[in-house]
Amino acid sequence: MSYINTHVRWERMTLFGILFLAVMIPLILPIGWRTDVSPHVQMVYDLVDKTPPGSAILISFDYEPSTMPELKPMAMSLVDHAWQKGHKVIAVALWPMGVQMANDVFSELTASPSEISSDEIPDVQTTDVKEKDESDEMMTPAVSANSIRRYSSKRYGIDYVNLGFKSGAMVTIKAMGRNIRETFPTDTFGTPIDSLPIMDNIVHLRDLAYIISLSAGDPGLKQWIMVAHDNFKVKVSGGTTAVSAPGFLPYINNRNQLRGLMGGLKGAAEYEKLMGTFGPASIKMDSQSIAHVIILVFIAIGNVRSFRRRRKQRQARDKE
């Protein structure tokens, strides 16, 4: 019995080891496999892309550090895209640590090139980067060699704001539907909302062109759909962790409850592809793909072994 236990333990350790290497090696030696764009991610992209410049939009940072690998690349791409299109980005959080997540994204995207250490610049291919129209005032970010755009000219309170965290989930969203200014009288740093130019003419949720929730669970995207869309008829889209993505697919329907969805790292990589960048999600997709192939092989091997064992047991019973 102990031999079997030891054998099973070493088998498991071997599988973990192989999986570890399968994830690690493509990070060191990227392959550059392509990612196809799904219709749901295209819907999110179109929503942002077709919204007129100058529109105020809201991004809800409903996640914490444990889900950063999946949701932060989405946040970076979305804010990048929104700023490219000249949107004013208002950030809120239904999770306490979402405030810091929003600050991280803003500070990374607004860092001037001199503030970026060489360690931050990944060595990635840049051939896919779309040609940007330099004459367009809305699209004048500093494009660094790694294709991560920097918007050092974007100013807090004018181009973006972080209103911070508010507990209450659905109640908070409903209160925002009635009056955002009363729900968030100050931003996360204590600045009165009336002194922030970005908030001029923003009173209700309906004053926003669209809402995107980056959601790691509850409260999150579901509450935004239920209240912001179904009650206040504001366009809602989102990105979620891969675990919760299937649960949101029924909301993409002819009622337009949800206008597109980015599911997990793959969704983030698809958005990066639409943006013409090779960002943090795209870099990790090689590891993701290889790990999936290996897991499929393991499942196949496990099933074959199981069938063989059962056949042997049946033959042994027949002999008796």
Partner 1 sequence: MAEIMTTIGVWIGVFLTFSIFSFLYRDNPFYRFAEQVFVGLSAAYGFIYIIYNVLIPNLFTPVLSDMSQNWLLIIPGILGILMLVRIYPPAEWISRYPLAVVIGTSAGISLMFYLKSDFMNQIAATMINPFAIPSASAISGSFLIILGTICGVYFFYFSKKQEGLFAIPSKIGIWFLMISFGASFGYTVMARISLLIGRIEFLLRDWLHIIK
| The binder of partner 1 chosen from 295, 300, 301, 304 (CB under 8 A) | 295
Of residues 87 and 284, the one with the C-beta less far from partner 1: 284
Single residue of 49, 129, 186, 217 touching partner 1 by CB under 8 A: 186
- Work out the angle between the directed axes of helices 68-84 and 39-49 (0-180°, nearest 10): 40
Q: Is 224 in the site for partner 1 (CB under 8 A)?
A: no
d(CA 231, CA 256): 13
Rounded Cα distance between 122 and 147, Å, is: 9
The whole-angstrom separation of Cα 90 and Cα 75 is: 13
CB 149 to partner 1: min, Å: 18
User: What are the backbone angles phi and psi of residue 204, rounded to the nearest 5°?
Assistant: -115, 170
Shortest spacing between CB 314 and partner 1, in angstroms: 25
**Interface with partner 1 includes 300 (CB under 8 A)?**
no
Question: Which of 10/308 has CB closer to partner 1?
Answer: 10
Q: Based on the number of CB atoms within 10 Å of its own CB, is 32 exposed (0-12), middle (13-18) or buried (19 or more)? A: middle
Per CB under 8 A, the list member of 125, 231, 306, 313 interacting with partner 1 is 231
- For partner 1, which is the closer residue by CB, 21 or 304? 21
Number of residues this chain uses to bind partner 1 (CB under 8 A): 58
* 142-143 and 149-150 beta bridge pairing: antiparallel
Identify the residue among 32, 69, 86, 157 touching partner 1 (CB under 8 A): 69
Closest by Cα among 104, 95, 99, 100 to 62: 95
Strand ranges (E), the chain: 56-62, 88-93, 142-143, 149-150, 160-165, 211-215, 236-240, 261-263
| Site of interaction with partner 1 (CB under 8 A) | 9, 12-13, 16, 19-20, 23-24, 27-28, 66-70, 96-97, 99, 118-123, 164-165, 167, 170-171, 174, 186, 188, 225-227, 230-231, 241-243, 245-247, 250, 253-255, 257, 263-266, 284, 287-288, 291-292, 295
